[in-house]
Amino acid sequence: MATLLRKIGLIRLHNRDTEDPKHHHNHRGGGGGQQSASLRGKGGAKSGGHKPQQQHPAGGAGDASPGPGKGKGKRAAELAQRDKPPQPAAGAASGGGPRERAAGARAGPGPAAAAAAAGGGSLVPAARQQHCTQVRSRRLMKELQDIARLSDRFISVELVDESLFDWNVKLHQVDKDSVLWQDMKETNTEFILLNLTFPDNFPFSPPFMRVLSPRLENGYVLDGGAICMELLTPRGWSSAYTVEAVMRQFAASLVKGQGRICRKAGKSKKSFSRKEAEATFKSLVKTHEKYGWVTPPVSDG
């Protein structure tokens, strides 16, 4: 009887173990955990100094914490990046992009640029003077060429001391029906000699022109050989006027003003002076600016 009861109890226990999945699962899980623990212990003892092979389950907590090798490699990369010297940006090496250039413009010029700008102020007058000299030289060279090609030999030019800006001009012809032309024939005067000096800003300012010889009377020729012509003043001058045109106008003025060669004893031998001509010209310009280019009152000379 006792033997039968033990057999029945064992059968029930066996049935319960087979029918209860949870109990069956726990029973197997516990055994598996112990078995895997024992295997890990044996594996650790057998491997000794060997590095165990790591296995990373997909999507688990192992992805968040790097292994020993990865941690050392990352640390070395950080140290290398920190020790690496900073590289200039591509935009800065090539002058910078729009933002960099705008920032540089707001910051203002550097010391070298400021010094160049400060020194450039003194160079402006010199550069302007050089430009004016070039313009004047080109114009006068063209004038000389044009005069040399004149077919009627109305005038001829000689440079004073080989200076391009100081001319002695010979007027060979005036109106042949005039008394001045008759005077020239009677006194064996081949030409009327004039001097022209060209200022720095020629052709935008008129030349200073005066008679040298012979000594003339009337014909708008004043003391010192100064010439009373509106086109020789700053107000009446135009850069389009050529030396040939000015000389033709002067020849016409001589005839219109009934100019004559002075034949008075003693006075005819006296030469004109530049200083006297300049003073006379300044005076007549001042007078005409006051009254216009009309005949001034006798009281003003």
Outline where DSSP puts E strands in 182-267: 192-197, 208-213, 216-217, 260-261
Vertex 157, ends 135 and 181: CA angle to 5°? Answer: 130
pLDDT tens digits for 154-168?
999 999 999 999 999
How far apart, in whole angstroms, are the C-alpha atoms of residue 188 and residue 183?
A: 8
Q: Is the pLDDT of residue 56 over 80?
A: no
Please give the order of strands across the beta sheet that includes 166-171. Answer: 155-159, 166-171, 192-197, 208-213
Rg (alpha carbons) of the chain, rounded to whole number: 57
pLDDT, tens digit, for every residue of 124-141? 678 888 888 899 999 999
How far is 196 from 143, CA to CA, in rounded Å? 13
| Given the residues 171, 228, 247, 284, the one annotated as active site | 228
The residues, any chain, with a CB within 8 Å of residue 2's CB and separated by 6 or more, are: none
Q: Helices (H), strands (E): how many in the chain?
A: 9, 6
pLDDT confidence of residue 84: 55
Domain 128-289 sits in CATH at 3.10.110.10
Domains in the chain: boundaries:
128-289
Q: What is the mean pLDDT of residues 223-241?
A: 93
The alpha carbon of residue 299 and the mean position of all alpha carbons in its chain are separated, in whole angstroms, by 56
pTM of the model: 0.57
> Is the pLDDT assigned to residue 24 strictly greater than 80?
no
- Other residues' Cβ atoms within 10 Å of the Cβ of residue 30: 10
Asked about 132 being catalytic, the answer comes back as no
